[in-house]
Structures are given as C-alpha cells and as structure tokens.
Structure 1
C-alpha cells in the first residue's frame, strides 16, 4: 500500500506550468526520489521519457508520501513529445561542449523558467543517471543549466540535481509572496525581537542589574578581585551583550547566580570586602582569577 499523499502547498503556476522532465531513467527508485524532491518544494508536473521501469513498487516506495506526483506523471516515448507545447526548455549539462551553448547557473535558470511559465509551459530537462543528455537532446534546449558542484567529484545523483532546481524555484516563489523578501519563510529568527521569538528582549536596565549581580557573585566565590579586575567584567559584558538576552534568560541567569551565592554562604546583593572561605579555596584549586 502506498503512503497517503499530503496536500501540495505551492504556486499553481509552478505546479502546472513548470515541467520536470526525466529522460530514460534507469532506476525507478530515482523517479520516486525525484517526486519527493518536487513535492518538498511545491512542484507537481513530472514527465518521464521512455523510463526503464515505471510504475513499480520501487518508485512508490522512494516517493515517501509523494505518490500523487507519480500518479499524475506523464509518460511519453520521446523527448520531443515531452517538449512539444513548451516555449522554454532548459537542460542540465556539464560544461566543455565543443559547440558553446548559453549556460546559466541554477538561480538564473529558475528565474528564466518562472518568467516563461507565465505564458506557456517551461521544461527543466534531466538526463540519464550514467551519462546525462545526448548532444541531440541538448540541442532541443534554449539554455543549459550548469550546477557548480565540486570539480573533483561533480556527478550528482538525479534526485539531487532535481532538488537543487526545485529549491531555487521554491525560493523564487517565496520572494514573490506578499511582502517580498519579508516573507516569514525567509526571515531569519536569531534573537529577541525577531518575529516568532517567544520572549521579549531584556531591557537595558534589567541587563545592567544582571551584570552587577554577576560581578558580586564572582566576587563572593573568589573568582573576581575588585582591586585587580583586569578585563574580566568587560569581556563578560561583551560575551552576554553578543548573546542579546531576552527577559526570561536574564531571570534564569540571575536565579543561577542566587543559587551560587547561597551555596557559597552569601546573600544576593551584599558587598563584602573579602571572598568567602569556600570561594577562596575554589579559586586556589582553579589557579586564581582571570
């Protein structure tokens, strides 16, 4: 039994008008892997030119929930039939052909395909696993796509090559959503204040209170010497300011400091002139202060 297929989320234009074409695929499992790559990125229009074996259980097993892409796949005997109604054709190829052909990298290829697909179907063509597309097949393409892989190990698995192009199309689609580059899918979330962060950023006054508490706790345990501070607190300030603490993080850190002070026998906020006995012993064992 095939895995159920979740609904496809993506632009209707890409689903219908951008065609992924596989030429004489040898291993049917690769067809399933391509279907999965397509559905991951919101594409659905798969064409197969004279596949060695399709449909079969291997292809559906590798599809992993993208069986609907395989169910609607078009199977034709020749590449010319797969491209008959397309007005833009881009084929994957390595460089170094005797007759130079217009070559574009994946991001530009995605832009060309997306723009052309607004008026008529556009095709991205991928060749055989062992030797790609023939010269005659490449001559049917308006552009060749070169994926700049490691020159010492340049051969990509078929599904990987398809994934690269589907990813570029997906990113292009997300940038065209309302808000452009501000799409929530593309916005980074790295610190408080970014959309999606669960706790507000700590106020400057709260952070300053933490630094004062930190300095006192380090003094209480004998790690910090006020008479010879060097750059300890400056470096710790730089460390924590770089982290851009949120309110909850400040509270957690101050709770830890309070627990340390209690263990050392000191009350929070006291300004003792000498470190505790336990703190002095700990500092000696660790080799002094920073």
Structure 2
C-alpha cells in the first residue's frame, strides 16, 4: 500500500506536464520547454508559498508564469511563424535560467526554509492528486464528446480544413499553447509542495523530458496518458526505493532505470502511437503550402 501511495503521488507531475503537452500538441503546437517550465513553476510556486504562506497562491502564480511562456511560444510560432522547436528550446533555457535567478535573488546562499506540504484530503493524498486525475478524465470527455474539443483536434490535424469551416485557428492555437504551458508549470510547482519542501535547481530531474515521451507513449490521448503516468511513476519510485534500500548496484545505474524503461517502451509505442498530423508545423492561411 505504501508503494501504491507513492506511485499515485509521483504520477501528479507527469500527469500535469504530459496533459499540457498533449493539449498544446492537439492544436499543432509542439512545446519542448517542459523541463524549464517545470523549474520555473517549482521556483515561483515555492517562493510565493514561502512569502505568503499559501500553497494555493503559489500554484496560481506558477500557472500564470507558465501561461506567459506558453503564450509567447504560441505567438512566436503562430503570428511570426518561427520554428517551434527552436523557440521551444530558447524558452527552455530562458525559463530554467529565470527560475534559478529568482531563487538566488530571494534566498541567496542561505539555507532555504521549508514550506508546508499540501494537506491530505482523502486516502492520504493531497488535493492535486484528485485534480490531476479529474483533469485527465475531463480532458478525455471534452476532446471526444464536445464540439469545442472536436474543433481543437481538427486544428491539430488539418488547420486549413478547420479554417475553411470557420474555426479560428489562431485563437485555438494561442489558447491551447497558453493553457498547456500553465499545466506544465503546475506540475513543476507540485514538486516542492509535495516532495522536498524546498526548491533546488535539480528538482525536476528530467521529468519534463520524460513527459514528452509520455505524450507520445499515450498516443496524445488523455486516457492513455493517465495510464502511462502510472507506469512512469512506478519506474521513478522503484529507482528511488532501490537507492534508499541499497542493493549493491551503483546509484548511477539505478537512476537510469526510468529512462531505460522509457526507451524500451517507446520502441513499441511509436509503432502504434499517432501524433496529430500538424504537430510542430506552422499554419499560414495565405499560403497554399503549410508547415
């Protein structure tokens, strides 16, 4: 039961970040700045929670910070039609550097104080566990059971056809990119609030990159991302428990476990996973050629 509880908690950052990646991708925006946005969310969430004594406020401000970067990515790629991968990498470095800078300006070289963890609400789990799972279910229902969800998916599959039907492609991409990045930052903010109680530059530990793989592993579908998050979280917890127990294997090899498992799974997942047709491409309604 303890292992299961740890896995459920470890699922939360994967869920928020991977679902945010999926939401952006469904509109054709391939965000690759997850690692940096998680760091920014962790730093902002920690500092605001420390200053005001409110985890809820920390989560809100972290989401707003992520949304700002998501809007910047969507704007640069939608209006200026800049390369999505290049802009995403630039925002990764910018957001990660900003996170470290904010922390050092406020805390400096002092021993960082711990913030209060999120309180448990049910079965020993905090409220973001419930929200993350509910969000995954809600996203599945919205994408596949509502007209607005269908319109979003159409933008990521064939924006020219969507445009011809009167769907505002630009507005859809801006909203999806902004909200998706906000979810990524919330996933980062969860880390100091649920695990360490403090911020550190290495707190994300590659979870942002794994979340990208999780979006592909889940076939860009919320329900499969929810299931995949359990697997990714289990690998993460196993690696951590193995280091604590001490099994006579160098910790570097144990730390590789989640990534090795991810690679093995992705070899098979890529055979059936279908990304949105227009993922990573920019749309110009005045041109016959899109991409």
Q: Which has the higher contact order (CA 8 A, sep 6+)?
A: 2
Give the structure with the larger strand fraction: 1
TM over 0.5: no
Q: Return the TM-score normalized by structure 1.
A: 0.21
Relative to the length of structure 2, the TM-score reads: 0.21
Greater Rg, structure 1 or structure 2?
1
